[in-house]
């Protein structure tokens, strides 16, 4: 028989979202070594098409990422970890 170990990845959370006059800065609470994905969609009508904004491996418990090209009239963001 085999032993299977499962580890839960700590969920990241939004600490702050700032509009800096044409681009956005996101501050995340996360854990070092966790891969964080920020995705965006231009509407929430099903089926929602989430597009990648950035993927980063955290090196600290606080992480900052930017959206320098928010060219859509509306953007919805989501944060997930793996």
Confidence check: pLDDT of 76 > 90: yes
Q: How far apart are CA 58 and CA 80, in angstroms?
A: 12
Question: In this predicted model, what pLDDT tens digit does every residue of 10-52 receive, in sequence order?
Answer: 889 999 999 999 899 999 999 999 999 999 999 999 999 999 9
What's the distance, Cα to Cα, between the start and end of the chain in Å?
A: 27
- Per-residue pLDDT, averaged over 44-69, amounts to 94
Q: How many residues does the structure list for the chain?
A: 82
Q: Which pLDDT value is given to residue 49?
A: 96
Structural contact between residues 32 and 60, judged by C-beta atoms closer than 8 angstroms: yes
Is the pLDDT confidence value at 7 over 90?
A: no
């Amino acid at each position: 028989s085999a032993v299977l170990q499962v580890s839960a990845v700590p969920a990241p959370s939004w600490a702050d979202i700032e509009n800096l006059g044409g681009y956005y800065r996101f501050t995340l609470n996360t854990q070092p070594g966790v891969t964080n994905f920020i995705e965006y969609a231009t509407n929430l009508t099903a089926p929602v098409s989430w597009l990648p904004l950035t993927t980063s491996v955290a090196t600290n418990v606080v992480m900052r990422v930017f959206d320098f090209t928010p060219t859509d009239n509306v953007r919805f963001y989501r944060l997930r970890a793996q």
